[in-house]
Amino acid sequence: MNRVPSQCAICRSWQTAPVCHDCMIRFGEPCKRCRTCALELPAELQSTQCARCLREPYGLDACFAALPYAFPWVELVSRYKFDSQTGWAAFMARTLLGQSAVRDFLSQLTRDDWLLPLPLSTERLAWRGFNQSWELACALQRQSACRATSDASLLLRIRHTRPQSELKRNARRENLKGAFAVEPLRISELKGRRVVLVDDVMTSGASLLTAASVLRQAGATHVSAVVLTRTAPT
């Protein structure tokens, strides 16, 4: 079946992919990243971790990011989240799976492991109409050999908070205190299990780290994250 021609969302050239090959090379070239917090590292650096993660243990056992949270990806993520353009989830999943490290990591998971989206509060879910992290998690599962069990109701957002983007870095962890919880009747399902959190944007990491802490308290032994975009070091 022939594909219907469409314009690249960035350069507007006519082709058949949401983002053309030239724009992916120009704006989405893979780079070396810290294996635990996904910050970009100098290509010549021998270490696989940034200085901060070497100094003190990070709250995630591993973290993978595909793209910088910068032009043009900021606009595309915004369309996805705030304009209900859920079709971008398939492109985002393909972009993540285009990295061998992500493919290999997800392929090692078993049915006893969990693939969990970062949850939204009831208020924000009602306003937005969908959880962008859940759509991305489902797309990753459809397009990969990942055998982990995906679930949108095991990890809960039980407190509505101000958007993290409105807060300074040092206020973000405080904003999320008491915001996440594991479904009380299902806590035993996390004991001794591996969990992979999925999200679209990672900035300070406060949301992922807070969720990871809650999952560890419930008995998870290994908590990692897969995110589409990561902000630059500050």
Residue type, 55: R
Positive or negative torsion for Cα 133, 137, 143, 145: positive
Residue 123 has pLDDT above 50, yes or no: yes
Beta-sheet strand order (sheet of 114-117) = 62-68, 222-230, 194-202, 114-117, 149-150
How confident is the model over 74-88, as pLDDT tens digits? 999 999 999 989 999
Query: Residue 220 — left, alpha, or beta (φ > 0 → left; ψ -120 to 50 → alpha)?
Result: beta
> Model-level pTM?
0.92
**CA 201 remoteness from chain centre:** 6
Rounded Cα distance between 18 and 191, Å, is: 40
- Listed residue (195, 203, 198) closest to 219, CA to CA: 195
Residue 167 has pLDDT above 70, yes or no: no
Rounded Cα distance between 113 and 131, Å, is: 21
The mean per-residue pLDDT over the stretch 193-221 comes to 96
3-class secondary structure, 149: strand
Q: What kind of architecture, by CATH, is found in domain 34-41+57-164+171-230?
A: 3-Layer(aba) Sandwich (3.40)
What single string gives the DSSP state of each residue in 1-52? -PPPPEE-TTT--EESSSS-HHHHHHH-----B-TTT--B--TT---SS-HH
How confident is the model over 26-61, as pLDDT tens digits? 999 999 999 999 999 999 999 999 999 999 999 999
Residue 163 has pLDDT above 90, yes or no: no
pLDDT of res. 59? 95
Rounded Cα distance between 164 and 176, Å, is: 9
Contact 11, 22 (CB under 8 A): yes
